[in-house]
Amino acid sequence: MTEPLIVGAMVRTLGAYPSGWRHPGAHADPQADAPILRRIARLGEDAGLDYLFFGDWLATGPDLEFRDPYLLARIDPVSAVLYLAGITERIGLIATVNTTYADPYATARATASLDLLTGGRAGVNLVTGAEPRAAANHGRDAHADNATRYDRAEEFVRALRLLWESWDEDAWIADRLTGTLIDENGLRGPGFRGEHVRVEGPLNVARPPQVHPPIVHAGTSDRSRALAATEADLALIASPDLHSARETRAVLRAAASAAGRSPDDIKVIAPVLPVVAETDAAAHAIVDRLLLLVPIDDGESPHVERPGFPANRSLAAFLDAAELAPDDPSRGAGVDEPVDAVAAARFGEAAARTLALVEQRTGRRVGGEVPVTWRHLIAAHAVPAAFVVGDASTVADHFERWSDERAADGFNVLSAFQPDQFEAFTVLAVPELRRRGLLGRQGDTLRERLGLAGPRPAHAPVERSASSVGP
């Protein structure tokens, strides 16, 4: 490893695991997000993390309560980063914008303003959207198809870069003697005309300190990866294991090179969901509690009859996934009964993996003094999560292994619940990451901290005569 990893926090105030908000002491009220955001920002900045990342979702509905509660009600990401701009000094602030529905001029204006107000700490995550309900919320009959969304996204990025460059670096003269405020030749509008995006400009915000705030993109489709390879500074991946992450990173770097970029100009960032405590046993107990708090069909849950309750949260659904026969004796078990070794031996490959993960993450054992129950398996199967569970050393081992294997250039840290688990990460794991040289990047701007080269100019350079800039 030649330099520290990029380490940011993906902020979800209601927690990144669906039952996290139910954990004792966890934040559970979006109307009280403001103090939680301030606490997260202070913890992240004091820990020396590189950025805070805010995702987005442009619709809501009762079904999200069971699938992704944090999406039900949340602060607009641009509002969140502007709110935190005034109470932070060093940490980067990345907000998500949906290019399918956003206006490029308004986006350029907000992100350039954020960059100016923070001295170069802004970043923008560009997404194309996956929620069909968002279309009606923006006065459209249907969500655009994948090809159309990415055609627009490519034009959107081009327009953003042109708008950010509206002002040349030396366009602002402010010569009090002559009364000349600007060099008019240093102010340019994009005059951009695409099939999906049109913007005249120029931007009525001064030149951002970073010129181009870093662009982030995530996705798995061919078009998404192509956009990341050509335009993204950070590419967010969601590979299920180290091997696939390493392959994805290699593919993205090769695609960036084929597009004429240095492969080092695209940083591949993986998600990580650490459950960290003073000891491995204490961390196991937290995961155990999270699994037990997942609402399932146990014959008593009042949620089962509600619209949107997932059909896979039952013993029958797990046993089907485990490939057990319709007349298997396990189908008559109670969800809180222990799983016996005879039944576990009949599991198919996928269910056996789920069982192994439950044992690894909770410390329970089939046939052990503290046994695995069917409830644990149902919850782990229905609500999978890439937990990294243990003490500071265990979490740091994961970071170090992925770094050594070149599976990622950094991590987006998620917290199962807020604020205690994020605080545990910053207080317990961060010092160990620093000790190993895995954390501690330097730079005055977000671009510098991410190790990015200077932005590629979108405008052609302007030739100006000496007379155009005053005496």
Q: Per the annotation, where are the binding residues for FMN?
A: 56, 96, 150, 221
Helix or strand holding residue 359 (H, E): helix 349-362
Here the tokens at position 4 are: 């520290």
Nearest by Cα to 235 from 253, 223, 222 = 253
Here the tokens at position 366 are: 């089939």
Q: Phi and psi (nearest 5°) for 270?
A: -105, 150
Please say whether the dihedral angle defined by the alpha carbons of residues 35, 39, 42 and 48, taken in this order, is positive or negative. Answer: negative
Strands 180-182 and 172-175: antiparallel
Nearest by Cα to 53 from 214, 223, 244 = 214
- Residues of the chain by 3-state class (helix, strand, coil), percent to 5: 40, 15, 45
Here the tokens at position 133 are: 């309900």
Task: Give residues with Cβ within 8 angstroms of 25, minimum separation 6.
Answer: 420
The Cα–Cα gap between 285 and 292 comes to 11
Contact of 347 with 322, CB cutoff 8 Å: yes
Paired with 217 in beta bridges are 235
Question: Which SS3 state, helix, strand or coil, does residue 373 take?
Answer: strand
